[in-house]
A and B are shown apart, each in its own frame.
Chain A
Amino acid sequence: MTTHDLIGHFPVDQDHLRRLHNRLERDAQASDLLDIAYRTVDSGLGPLLVAATPQGLLRVAFASEGHDLVLQNLSERISPRMLEAPTRLDPIARQLDEYFTGHRHSFDVELDWSLSHGFRRTVLGHLATDIAYGDTASYATLARLSGSPRAVRAVGTACATNPIPIVVPCHRVIRSDGTVGSYRGGPTAKRALLDLERDR
């Protein structure tokens, strides 16, 4: 009698495990134990990972960042109580769909800023409110808006480390010479978002 023999007599059906997982999502949410819920959303820029706490949207990640690495990082920085639980992300998934089809120009979801602190948080806050759909601003302009006109380099860092790209529109910040500059999802993704918004 080996371990494997008896295991073979207890088959487990993947649909059954999925149903149990759904129940765990509901129970965890009801018991206030679901610190981070996440799912992936298909988009014009490939699959996006979206993660939210009960406070709001915490993270949007491009496939190029490595979704498993992003999840591991959230687990260590925020909480390991994480489940793939789509329900909490339904509103942002719907709004991202609308955004990528050109039908939505601003996002209406609560944001959780836990991953941004200090000046970076200030910069991203201005970014979220001051630069409209279809517009662009230079890093220098955003530095001025953020109250530190000489902190252009720090503004660049804040944009490059934006934990909630697309929704917090760091893609609208470009170089003074008009080139797009760096982007968490890569310069091609940044260009694609700017083109999408120009076609409004």
Chain B
Amino acid sequence: MKVDQHVKLPFEAVVARHGATVLRVVRAVVGHADADDAWSDTFLAALKAYPQLPADANTEAWLVTIAHRKAIDITRAASRRAVPVADTPDSPARERADAHDLDLDAAVGALPPKQRQAVAYHYLAGLPYSEIAALLDSSVAAARRAAADGIATLRRTYPRIDNPRNHHDHA
């Protein structure tokens, strides 16, 4: 397909291009258990609003904005249900068959929400700090600091973060 950022693609192409990134982001922000619901809510809301999105808009940033709001809704609903947080790891480097890392989930889940969001939006979705600041209703400096603090904590709580994994997909 011709890649022209000023042509609005069929929504299917939006899902194909950004589905994996949005899944990583919501997995980091709401945790593995609620990630599917957050992904589904995000793309259904995006489908509804898509005809109004300007053709030259940054689609991925727009999706992350929607995911951010949907994640907040899901987190609020989850706290009303008072479900306990994910179980704590009892041995290092546990992984499930689907290759998601329970230790990483726990480490990311233990970050304060703003740090978790800043890390996800910057390091998983590649959003600039100016846009993250708008999402988090904070200054650019505060958004940058939240991401840096989050990464610093993860380096302590999940040392493997500096070891590249080689079996992830490149979708």
Chain A interface mostly? helix
- Taken together as a complex, chains A and B put the C-alpha atoms of A21 and B39 apart, in Å, by 10
- Taken together as a complex, chains A and B put the C-alpha atoms of A24 and B23 apart, in Å, by 13
Give every chain A residue within 8 A of B164 (Cβ-Cβ): 4-5, 8
Count of chain B residues near A, Cβ 8 A: 46
CB of A39 to closest CB in B, whole Å? 11
Q: A5-B164, A9-B104, A82-B11 are in contact. Are A20 and B124 (CB under 8 A)?
A: no
- Choice from B9, B47, B119 contacting A75 with Cβ under 8 Å: B9
The segment from B69-77, B82-90, B94-102, B135-143 found at the interface with A is B94-102
- Taken together as a complex, chains A and B put the C-alpha atoms of A84 and B16 apart, in Å, by 10
- Choice from B1, B36, B101 contacting A9 with Cβ under 8 Å: B101
A interface footprint on B15-34 (CB within 8 Å = 1, 0 otherwise): 10001100110011000000
Would B168 and A81 count as touching, CB distance under 8 A? Answer: no
Question: Chain A: which residue is nearest B47 at the CB level?
Answer: A33
Interface residues of A in 1-59 (CB under 8 A from B): 1, 3-14, 16-17, 20-21, 23-24, 27-28, 31, 33-34, 36, 38
B interface footprint on A55-76 (CB within 8 Å = 1, 0 otherwise): 0000000000000100110111
Would A74 and B151 count as touching, CB distance under 8 A? Answer: no
- Choice from B40, B51, B124, B126 contacting A23 with Cβ under 8 Å: B40
A101 within 8 A of B: no
A160 within 8 A of B: no
Number of A-B residue pairs with CB-CB distance less than 8 Å in the complex they form: 123
Would A24 and B43 count as touching, CB distance under 8 A? Answer: yes
Q: A27-B40, A33-B48 are in contact. Are A7 and B8 (CB under 8 A)?
A: no
B165 within 8 A of A: yes
Would A3 and B20 count as touching, CB distance under 8 A? Answer: no
Q: A72-B9, A83-B11 are in contact. Are A8 and B47 (CB under 8 A)?
A: no
Give every chain B residue within 8 A of A125 (Cβ-Cβ): none
Count of chain A residues near B, Cβ 8 A: 38
- Taken together as a complex, chains A and B put the C-alpha atoms of A7 and B23 apart, in Å, by 11
Give every chain B residue within 8 A of A1 (Cβ-Cβ): 123, 151, 155, 161-162
Would A83 and B162 count as touching, CB distance under 8 A? Answer: no
- Taken together as a complex, chains A and B put the C-alpha atoms of A21 and B168 apart, in Å, by 20
- Taken together as a complex, chains A and B put the C-alpha atoms of A74 and B51 apart, in Å, by 13
- Taken together as a complex, chains A and B put the C-alpha atoms of A132 and B43 apart, in Å, by 45
- Choice from B15, B28, B166 contacting A10 with Cβ under 8 Å: B28
- Choice from B20, B155, B166 contacting A12 with Cβ under 8 Å: B20
Give every chain A residue within 8 A of B151 (Cβ-Cβ): 1
Chain A residues near B (Cβ < 8 Å): 1, 3-14, 16-17, 20-21, 23-24, 27-28, 31, 33-34, 36, 38, 68, 71-72, 74-76, 79-84
